[in-house]
Amino acid sequence: MKKNKQAAVANKIPKAQKVQLQVEKKVIYRFALLLAVFAFLLYSNTLNHGYVLDDTSIIKDNRMTQGGTSSLKEIFTSAYRAGNINSENDLYRPLSKAMFAVEWQLSPENPFLSHFMNVMLYAFCCAVLFIVLLRWTGINIHILFFTVLLFAAHPIHTEVVANIKSRDEILAMLFILFSLNSLYKYLESKKALFFVGYVLCFFLALLSKESAIVYVAIAPLFIWFFTEKAWRENIKLTLSVAVTAILYLFLHKSIIGGIALTNIPVIDNSLMATTDTILRKATAIFIMSKYLLLLIFPHPLSSDYSYNTIPLVSGMGDPKLLFSLLVHLGMLIYAIKKFREKHILSFCILFYLVSMAIASNIFMIIGTHLAERLLFFPSIAFCLALAWLFSKLFKLDYRDLSTQFVQTFRSGKGFVIVCATITLLFSVKTFARNKDWKSNGTLFKADIEKVPESAHMLMYYTDYLINKEELKKLSPEARKARLLQAQGYIRRALKIYELFPDAHYLNGRISYELNDYETAYKEYLRALTLNPSKAMYHNNAGTALFSSGNYMAAAEEFKKAMTIDPLDADPPFNLGSAYGAMGEVYKSRNEIENANKMFNEAIPNFEKAIQLNPQYKSAYKFLGATYVNMGNPEKGKPYLEKAEQLK
């Protein structure tokens, strides 16, 4: 009994010694700076990368982001993806989007600044994480140094840092760390200012990303494991962030109109492929083992794991499910057993499970069933547990607060060598993976081989292959070969999941580029059957009809597109073109009155397109040509000259 008690005391997390930290403050900041420099250098090869994946809809092609500081009010009162023609009103993350808007104003159409900010914020995050863990735990500074070194180097973070859009993950974690720092200072001093900082920083984390709400359960874990505060105070402090979370949810609902995601497509989350709730939960539990495996062995890495990369489990007796259930239940039982001892592994397990609660899809369905970025915050627990286990294996005293590295190396040489080796291996993988994120082309080429059953990845790669700017560079023969290659990929996607509207849309685009307008229209029509509320489907269906000479039917599709998305300049331009084409037909028949009637219908639509996009060269050109066709060349001349001036 006495021996067990001694073991419990030995594994109990030591309390931070404030005096020691004050004396060694310079050393601590040097360690933090070293970690920041390491993290920055590790991701320095992403600085010249372009806009990739969701960067396009959030930044490059987003009207609000491009509005700069003038759009800040609109950004804070609208959905995250608002301002893009493919927007979905289900997320509210104004803080990161506001930063993108400011960066766009400072350096428009230049992703360098945003990549630089991502790398800098990540480096800063690593430094702050080290200081916060040291301040709260008081664990051996070298063990915590290697904990954060493993965190900084872990390849699972490449998506978060290399993809600008994932700034929301970095900001959410950074503000949670600031909140923990304020909470620590409040418990030490009882100053109201630190309490305000504790609550305010959590609110800012929520404005960065909704998943920060898990902090409501993380904060009390820190108080329980690392202090001797009474339960009453812990509950009071927990309630304060819980109330903050409730206020945020009210704000979220008032702006977005709801809280939980609705109408999640199967293509994004495979769990939606069944209506069987038990089967959904079972598959979600199995996927939790995939997350653990990615933390332990981060290879291969992919930007997409959607349908049908991870099929549903076969049933409750599926060995994959049983193994994952056994592992996670074992972890939970161990954490509960060691909870009263305040064992560090108990803390790490609970930290991990709580921070994965939303991402797991067990308690609520989210927009994806697996994504590497969702491991960003939970990976703190994994790295801390890994460093602690190595310290136990090599008998390094994690309660020793000495800052002398030579002393630590002598007493724990094996610990240093193993952690340094893993850090090196992680770093090599991270540096190499960063290169894949340079552009959509490099990313999709790298990942298409890793997830060949992902209908989404096949769609992404097809979209890249038929990019108009890339097709322009090719000879007619090479262009046709590329289009046929793309057609092969998109047909594979449709074979995996026929109910995929975007895949039908891309198949229609390919047919259109191959001058098969009838097939193109059929594919657009199928896409519209699956999703009638998408403006670009109507717009492209109208384009196919226009190219077939059916101008009247094309005009109806363009009108529908304008109704759905009144801020897109393409539908009114296309509608003006349809009226103009009808005017040309009447003019060729010498029906001048009907021709002018159509030309008069075209003019306000071209003007609308110019109003929405003042740089729309074709709109100026066609508007000028319309006036010329009506016998008024003087009125058309300024528009034709403007078209010549634009690139």
* Tens digits of residue pLDDT in 394-450: 888 766 666 565 566 666 788 999 999 999 999 999 999 999 999 999 999 999 999
Residue 407 is predicted with a pLDDT of: 64
Q: Which residues, 6+ apart, have CB-to-CB distance to 339 below 8 Å?
A: 346, 350
Pull the structure tokens for residue 243: 């109330």
Helix axes 215-226, 344-355, angle to 10 degrees: 170
- With a pLDDT cut of 70, the percent of the chain lying above it is 93
Averaged pLDDT of the chain: 92
Which residues is 12 bridged to in the sheet? Answer: 343
Query: Letter for the amino acid at 395?
Result: K
> How far is the C-alpha of 310 from the C-alpha of 190, rounded, in Å?
50
68: left (phi over 0), alpha (psi -120 to 50) or beta: left
* Tens digits of residue pLDDT in 514-564: 999 999 999 999 999 999 989 999 999 999 999 999 999 999 999 999 999
> How far is the C-alpha of 373 from the C-alpha of 161, rounded, in Å?
9
Pull the structure tokens for residue 491: 């047909």
- Residue 363 backbone phi and psi in degrees, to 5: -95, -25
**pLDDT higher than 50, residue 54:** yes
Could you tell me if 442 and 448 are in contact, meaning their C-beta atoms sit under 8 angstroms apart?
A: no
**pLDDT higher than 70, residue 165:** yes
Residue 572 is predicted with a pLDDT of: 97
* Tens digits of residue pLDDT in 507-525: 999 999 999 999 999 999 9
Could you tell me if 204 and 175 are in contact, meaning their C-beta atoms sit under 8 angstroms apart?
A: yes
Residue 89 is predicted with a pLDDT of: 65
What would the mean pLDDT of 235-253 be, rounded to a whole number? Answer: 95
Length of the chain: 647
More confident residue, 414 or 21: 414
Pull the structure tokens for residue 385: 């547990």
* Tens digits of residue pLDDT in 170-183: 999 999 999 999 99
* Tens digits of residue pLDDT in 452-472: 999 999 999 999 999 888 888
Q: Among 345, 255, 240, 322, which Cα is nearest to 10's? A: 345
* Tens digits of residue pLDDT in 32-49: 999 999 999 999 999 999
Q: Which residues, 6+ apart, have CB-to-CB distance to 423 below 8 Å?
A: 146, 149, 150, 153
**pLDDT higher than 70, residue 284:** yes
Of 469-473, 492-496, 602-606, the poorest mean pLDDT is in: 469-473
Query: Letter for the amino acid at 408?
Result: T
Could you tell me if 595 and 563 are in contact, meaning their C-beta atoms sit under 8 angstroms apart?
A: no
N-to-C CA span, the chain: 83
Pull the structure tokens for residue 556: 């109806």
Of 127-136, 229-238, 283-292, the poorest mean pLDDT is in: 229-238
What would the mean pLDDT of 267-283 be, rounded to a whole number? Answer: 95
Helix axes 570-588, 592-612, angle to 10 degrees: 160
Residue 138 is predicted with a pLDDT of: 83
* Tens digits of residue pLDDT in 85-116: 766 667 899 999 999 999 999 999 999 999 99
Residue 484 is predicted with a pLDDT of: 96
> How far is the C-alpha of 548 from the C-alpha of 72, rounded, in Å?
44
Residue 411 is predicted with a pLDDT of: 66
Pull the structure tokens for residue 378: 């939970």
Q: Where are the domains of the chain?
A: 551-647
Q: Which residues, 6+ apart, have CB-to-CB distance to 325 below 8 Å?
A: 285
> In b/e form, how buried is each residue of 57-69, taking b as 16+ CB within 10 angstroms?
bbbbebbbbbbbe
Helix axes 455-465, 501-513, angle to 10 degrees: 30
Q: Among 42, 132, 37, which Cα is nearest to 384's? A: 132
What would the mean pLDDT of 116-135 be, rounded to a whole number? Answer: 97
Could you tell me if 397 and 140 are in contact, meaning their C-beta atoms sit under 8 angstroms apart?
A: yes
Q: Among 201, 174, 73, 199, which Cα is nearest to 117's? A: 174
Residue 18 is predicted with a pLDDT of: 45
What would the mean pLDDT of 566-587 be, rounded to a whole number? Answer: 95
**pLDDT higher than 50, residue 22:** no
**pLDDT higher than 90, residue 147:** yes
Residue 2 is predicted with a pLDDT of: 47
Of 68-82, 320-334, 373-387, the poorest mean pLDDT is in: 68-82
**pLDDT higher than 70, residue 11:** no
Pull the structure tokens for residue 237: 């402090």
Residue 17 is predicted with a pLDDT of: 43
| CATH class of the domain defined by 551-647 | mainly alpha
Split at pLDDT 50, 70, 90, the class of 211 is: very high
What is the separation of C-alpha 176 from the centre of its chain, rounded to a whole number of angstroms? 18
What would the mean pLDDT of 570-593 be, rounded to a whole number? Answer: 95
- With a pLDDT cut of 90, the percent of the chain lying above it is 84
* Tens digits of residue pLDDT in 224-235: 999 998 889 999
**pLDDT higher than 50, residue 362:** yes
Residue 378 is predicted with a pLDDT of: 97
Could you tell me if 35 and 154 are in contact, meaning their C-beta atoms sit under 8 angstroms apart?
A: no
Split at pLDDT 50, 70, 90, the class of 13 is: low
Pull the structure tokens for residue 249: 């949810």
Could you tell me if 76 and 98 are in contact, meaning their C-beta atoms sit under 8 angstroms apart?
A: yes
> What does DSSP assign to residue 625?
H
Could you tell me if 90 and 83 are in contact, meaning their C-beta atoms sit under 8 angstroms apart?
A: no
Pull the structure tokens for residue 104: 């766009």
> How far is the C-alpha of 526 from the C-alpha of 512, rounded, in Å?
15
Q: Among 305, 283, 451, which Cα is nearest to 360's? A: 283
Q: Among 212, 5, 36, which Cα is nearest to 120's? A: 36
- Burial, 4: exposed, middle or buried (Cβ in 10 Å; 0-12, 13-18, 19+)? exposed
Name the pTM for this structure. 0.91
